[in-house]
Amino acid sequence: MSAIPDLSGIEWVKSSYSGNGGGSCVEWAPRLASADIIPVRDSKDPHGPALAFPVSSWSSFISAVKSGQFPEA
Quick check: is 50 in a domain? yes
- 29, burial (CB in 10 Å: exposed 0-12, middle 13-18, buried 19+): buried
Quick check: is 73 in a domain? no
Amino acid symbol at 24: S
Q: What is the pLDDT of residues 21-48, one digit of tens each?
A: 656 688 888 877 677 888 999 888 888 8
Number of domains in the chain: 1
pTM of the predicted structure, to 2 decimals:
0.71
Amino acid symbol at 22: G
Quick check: is 6 in a domain? no
- Domain range for 57: 13-66
Quick check: is 72 in a domain? no
Asked if residues 50 and 42 have their Cβ atoms less than 8 Å apart, the reply is no
**Average pLDDT value for residue range 49-56:** 90
